[in-house]
């Protein structure tokens, strides 16, 4: 790539980082901060695209999946969340096992991945979740059940007065195959104290993921960015996750989530620009050298920005989704779901090769 031979990166003061990327060397915290401060997002994007191409070529993954949110009732009341309702508040809901099955049956294609998450409900016991998992597993034995964030696992443990290890063991026995990456937000205590003081701490989130890896479960990671966090806090988040992966090796995919501002209690002065979103995705690819996949989550990014993200380090387009609540309550303007052919056309439209995958990223 001629770009890599030119003095372009010298002019951007990124030549040493370019050399590290070329040599496959780990970037430091300071490198991450410098990448964020680089005035030229395209330079950062080119470096991330280099890494993405080295790992995956032009292959771009997607999955036939279905999201199900079992409740929006949540005791945590995070400042940024437009989805949450109090118990008894109008608009609050809890799905039954039959409701969950009906949603899965109504999906146009049988899912290869089922993503089930919800609020931290004050009364739903672990037997409710075991029942849902075993029922879904029985009806969809080929689907990977990617369910419950570490925040929910911590909540179940507190409600049942048992350890998170026991919760994970029981859920795995009921059919859990993987955990999604939600609830990580930003690990910095300053931010969590302001935005989500009631939910699991960063250390709890990381420990639960590492426990899950110890039990043979794969998990994902996320970062919610574009609210009150500093650049240093974003890089700190990525470094903490990278260190966690060095310890337990079970993270499969990372999802950068841009903060959507509608219906949120949190108001911010400087909403993200499209280029800042892309640069952040690129820095995630560059810093997380030990996590194989970066997701362009079209639901939160919008499909056109998700397509652009495929040239800024992302290699996964998530999936058909079918119905999404968390982002749409917060103002996401994307479709509720996409068909397999729409996903493939969008990926091909970017000059990439679509690869249908299962929940564990095995090509189908
Ligand atoms: O944990 C909440 C975030 C997450 C807002 O693991 C918001 O494969 C933007 O984690 N603006 C849930 N984001 C989504 C999530 C996810 C999605 C798709 C795939 C996977 C995976 C994980 O959404 C929450 C929170 O961080 N969120 N409110 C908002 N206003
Ligand atoms: Fe509850 Fe999750 Fe919303 Fe926080 S982000 S209020 S934990 S549903």
Which tops the pLDDT comparison, 315 or 269? 315
Task: Establish if 362 belongs to a structural domain.
Answer: no
If one counts every other C-beta atom within 10 angstroms of the C-beta of residue 41, the result is: 21
Task: Establish if 126 belongs to a structural domain.
Answer: yes
pLDDT bucket at 9, cuts 50 / 70 / 90: confident
Mean pLDDT, rounded, for 172-182: 98
Q: Is the Cβ atom of 77 under 6 angstroms away from ligand 2?
A: yes
Mean pLDDT, rounded, for 141-161: 98
pLDDT of residue 237: 98
For residue range 222-242, list pLDDT tens digits in order. Answer: 999 999 999 999 999 999 999
Tell me the best of 237, 327, 329, 338 to mutate to test the pocket of ligand 1, counting ligand atoms within 8 Å of each CB and taking the most.
327
pLDDT of residue 327: 84
Give the angle subtended at the CA of 165 by the CAs of 316 and 63, to the nearest 5°. Answer: 15
Domain hosting 172: range is 2-357
Task: Establish if 364 belongs to a structural domain.
Answer: no
Ligand 2 centroid distance, CA of 45 (Å) = 31
What's the whole-number average pLDDT of the chain?
95
pLDDT of residue 180: 98
Q: Is the Cβ atom of 264 under 6 angstroms away from ligand 2?
A: no
Q: Which of 154, 145, 214, 159 is nearest to 184 (CA)?
A: 154
Mean pLDDT, rounded, for 190-210: 98
Are the C-beta atoms of residues 80 and 224 closer than 8 Å to each other?
Answer: yes
Q: Which of 219, 131, 226, 224 is nearest to 185 (CA)?
A: 224
Are the C-beta atoms of residues 178 and 359 closer than 8 Å to each other?
Answer: yes
pLDDT of residue 333: 85
For residue range 68-114, list pLDDT tens digits in order. Answer: 999 999 999 999 999 999 999 999 999 999 999 999 998 888 999 99
Please check if 342 is assigned to a binding site. no
Please check if 196 is assigned to a binding site. no
Task: Establish if 363 belongs to a structural domain.
Answer: no
Task: List, in order, residues 6 or more apart from 356 with CB less than 8 Å away.
Answer: 61, 62, 63, 64, 340, 363, 364
Ligand 2 centroid distance, CA of 196 (Å) = 8
Burial of 203 (0-12, 13-18, 19+ CB in 10 A): exposed
Residue 254 has pLDDT above 60, yes or no: yes
CATH number at residue 174: 3.20.20.70
353-356 and 178-179 beta bridge pairing: unpaired
Task: Establish if 279 belongs to a structural domain.
Answer: yes
> Given the CA of residue 330, which atom of ligand 1 is nearest to it?
30
pLDDT of residue 325: 86
Question: How far is 26 from 163, CA to CA, in rounded Å?
Answer: 35
For residue range 346-363, list pLDDT tens digits in order. Answer: 999 999 999 999 999 999
Question: How far is 293 from 280, CA to CA, in rounded Å?
Answer: 15
Are the C-beta atoms of residues 156 and 194 closer than 8 Å to each other?
Answer: no
Ligand 2 centroid distance, CA of 70 (Å) = 13
Tell me the best of 68, 200, 257 to mutate to test the pocket of ligand 1, counting ligand atoms within 8 Å of each CB and taking the most.
257
Question: How far is 155 from 283, CA to CA, in rounded Å?
Answer: 32
Pinpoint the alpha helices (H) of the chain.
2-5, 8-11, 15-23, 29-37, 41-56, 97-106, 126-139, 150-160, 164-174, 189-195, 202-214, 231-248, 274-287, 298-301, 303-309, 326-329, 340-349
pLDDT bucket at 7, cuts 50 / 70 / 90: confident
Task: List, in order, residues 6 or more apart from 50 with CB less than 8 Å away.
Answer: 1, 4, 21, 22
Residue 191 has pLDDT above 90, yes or no: yes
Domain count for the chain: 1
Ligand 2 centroid distance, CA of 241 (Å) = 21
Tell me which DSSP letter residue 364 carries: -
Question: How far is 314 from 295, CA to CA, in rounded Å?
Answer: 6
Q: What is the pTM of this model?
A: 0.96
Ligand 1 centroid distance, CA of 183 (Å) = 7
Which helix H or strand E contains 27, and what residues bound it? none
Instruction: Give, using CA atoms, the residue closest to atom 15 of ligand 1.
Output: 182
Residue 1 has pLDDT above 80, yes or no: no
User: 123-152 burial by CB neighbour count: b if 16+ within 10 A, else e?
Assistant: ebebebbbebbbbbbeebeebbbbbbbbbb
pLDDT of residue 4: 65
Residue 342 has pLDDT above 60, yes or no: yes
């Amino acid at each position: 790539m001629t770009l890599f031979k030119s003095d372009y990166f010298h002019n951007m003061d990124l030549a040493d980082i370019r050399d590290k990327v070329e040599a496959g060397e780990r970037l430091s915290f300071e490198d991450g901060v410098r990448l964020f401060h680089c005035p030229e997002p395209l330079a950062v994007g080119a470096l991330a695209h280099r890494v993405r191409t080295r790992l995956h070529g032009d292959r771009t993954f997607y999955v036939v999946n279905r999201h199900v949110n079992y409740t929006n009732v949540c005791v945590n009341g995070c400042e940024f969340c437009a989805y949450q309702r109090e118990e008894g508040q109008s608009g609050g809901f809890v799905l039954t096992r039959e409701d969950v099955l009906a949603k899965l049956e109504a999906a146009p294609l049988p899912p290869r991945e089922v993503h089930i998450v919800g609020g931290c409900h004050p009364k739903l016991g672990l037997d409710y979740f075991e029942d849902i998992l075993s029922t879904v597993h029985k009806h969809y034995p080929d689907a990977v059940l990617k369910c419950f964030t570490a925040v929910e696992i911590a909540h179940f443990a507190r409600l049942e007065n048992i350890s998170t290890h026991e919760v994970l063991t029981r859920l795995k026995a009921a059919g859990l195959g993987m955990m999604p990456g939600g609830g990580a937000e930003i690990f910095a205590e300053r931010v969590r104290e302001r935005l989500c003081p009631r939910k699991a701490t960063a250390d709890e989130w990381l420990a639960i993921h590492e426990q899950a890896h110890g039990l043979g479960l794969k998990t994902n990671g996320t970062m919610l960015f574009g609210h009150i966090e500093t650049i240093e806090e974003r890089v700190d988040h990525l470094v903490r996750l990278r260190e966690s992966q060095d310890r337990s090796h079970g993270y499969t995919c990372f999802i950068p989530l841009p903060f959507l501002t509608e219906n949120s209690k949190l108001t911010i002065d400087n909403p993200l620009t499209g280029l800042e979103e892309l640069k952040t995705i690129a820095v995630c690819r560059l810093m997380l050298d030990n996590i194989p996949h970066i997701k362009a989550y079209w639901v939160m990014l919008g499909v056109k920005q998700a397509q652009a993200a495929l040239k800024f380090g992302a290699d996964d387009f998530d999936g058909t989704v079918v119905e999404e609540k968390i982002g749409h309550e917060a103002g996401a303007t994307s479709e509720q779901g996409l068909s397999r052919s729409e996903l493939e056309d969008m990926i091909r439209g970017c000059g990439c090769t679509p690869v249908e995958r299962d929940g564990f990223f095995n090509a189908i």
